[in-house]
Amino acid sequence: MLQADKKGIVLVTGGTGFVGQAIVRSLEKSGYKARILARTTRFDRSHHPAVEFRQGNVVDGQGVESAMQGCSAVIHLVGIIRETRFQSFEQAHVQATENVLKAASAAGIQRYIHMSASGTRAHAAAQYHQTKWRAEQLVRATTLNWTIFRPGLIHGPDGEFTRMVMQWHDGKAPPFLFMPYFGGGLLGQRAIARVQPIFIEDLAELFVRALEIPDTENRTYEVGGPDPFTWPAMLEVFNTVLPGPRRAILGIPFWLAKALSAFPLPGLPFNHDQVVMAGEDSVCDLAAVKRDFPGFAPQPLESSFRGYIATMAAG
């Protein structure tokens, strides 16, 4: 392995999160030094003693430009899937991106990698996608050499989705008695959308490789795993691999979930945007990724899940 600063320092916003930690690992393996910008320094440094930390807030811009001094590139990951009374989609996606772009330009950084989301487009139904689109437009308007990635569902041993599926399977999270999805029809038993989950380590590989491939500059990539699934088919993969009794997989009527989320009740485990997005396909054509990232071969869902479930059990 190369010394972890031979290729320069890369600033990672949101580097303490699920995706961020995987990218930090990939940066170090590839010979870069990672510098994390976060509001807190919550990160397990036992395996990453060379990681640098800078405290700052991309939403209000505090500490962002100073954190970029001496860096050769920026990977911007900050985003939220659910609004809170402390932070809106507009703040987390649009305002934060604007602050990071301005700081990168002021610091003289030219290379910028941005994480967006599958389904992002103008006039999207979900506010999440709308604000992701406005953030993308800010990126495209800069003079930086940018690359935008649009992943769909991301899975991995520390991921929120994986933990949730495991809790469903073990009966430890609502609805407790079965593994749910939002389905069509009166009773919700018809699959209405497809998803193409990507393993976190494969996604991290793309972010880091993009730093060294000029053909990826000023391009947007839809990214996913090798295979699309309907939601019940994907849940069946998890159901098959996880130890213990198999759990029933049942649909929650899409119309009912949408109605409930319009007037959210306390404790409702999903919001309006999540319901809307779950009703849309989140799949992609990998031709452009495979063209510009030679040798990229994302791991199938079942084999990658078996691998890290076995590791988690052994640990």
The verdict on 186 and 121 lying in the same domain is no
> Which residues touch 288 (CB under 8 Å, ≥6 apart)?
219, 221, 222
The total domain count for the chain is 2
37, 13 Cβ separation under 8 angstroms: yes
- Could you tell me if residue 216 is inside a domain? no
Average confidence (pLDDT) over 109-133: 97
Q: Which of 87, 116, 151 is the last residue of a domain?
A: 151
- Could you tell me if residue 260 is inside a domain? yes
Has residue 295 got a pLDDT over 90? yes
Parent domain of 126: 1-151
Has residue 23 got a pLDDT over 80? yes
- Could you tell me if residue 209 is inside a domain? no
For residue 50, name the pLDDT band (cuts at 50, 70, 90). Answer: confident
The verdict on 159 and 304 lying in the same domain is yes
Instruction: Tally DSSP H helices, then E strands, for the chain.
Output: 12, 13
Find, among 153, 184, 185, the residue nearest to 298 by Cα: 153
Q: Which of 123, 151, 179 is the last residue of a domain?
A: 151
Average confidence (pLDDT) over 92-111: 98
The verdict on 21 and 133 lying in the same domain is yes
The verdict on 265 and 309 lying in the same domain is yes
Give the type of residue at 78.
Answer: V
Has residue 124 got a pLDDT over 80? yes
Q: Helix or strand or coil: residue 177?
A: coil
- Could you tell me if residue 204 is inside a domain? no
Cα three-residue angle 247-252-256, rounded to 5 degrees: 160
Q: Return the pLDDT at 2.
A: 42
d(CA 35, CA 9): 7
**Six token digits for residue 302:** 């079942």
The verdict on 79 and 44 lying in the same domain is yes
* Model pTM score: 0.95
DSSP 281: -
Q: Return the pLDDT at 234.
A: 98
The verdict on 10 and 141 lying in the same domain is yes
d(CA 92, CA 282): 22
- Could you tell me if residue 30 is inside a domain? yes
Has residue 182 got a pLDDT over 50? yes
- Label residue 162 exposed, middle or buried (CB < 10 Å: 0-12, 13-18, 19+): buried
Lowest mean pLDDT among 63-67, 94-98, 154-158, 263-267: 263-267
Average confidence (pLDDT) over 114-132: 97
The verdict on 10 and 145 lying in the same domain is yes
- Could you tell me if residue 50 is inside a domain? yes
Digit-coded pLDDT (tens) for 264-287: 778 888 999 999 999 999 999 999
- Could you tell me if residue 217 is inside a domain? no
The verdict on 194 and 312 lying in the same domain is yes
Has residue 15 got a pLDDT over 80? yes
Has residue 52 got a pLDDT over 50? yes
The verdict on 110 and 243 lying in the same domain is no
- Could you tell me if residue 310 is inside a domain? yes
CATH of the domain at 75: 3.40.50.720
The verdict on 166 and 307 lying in the same domain is yes
The verdict on 70 and 18 lying in the same domain is yes
**Six token digits for residue 170:** 């073990």
The verdict on 126 and 267 lying in the same domain is no
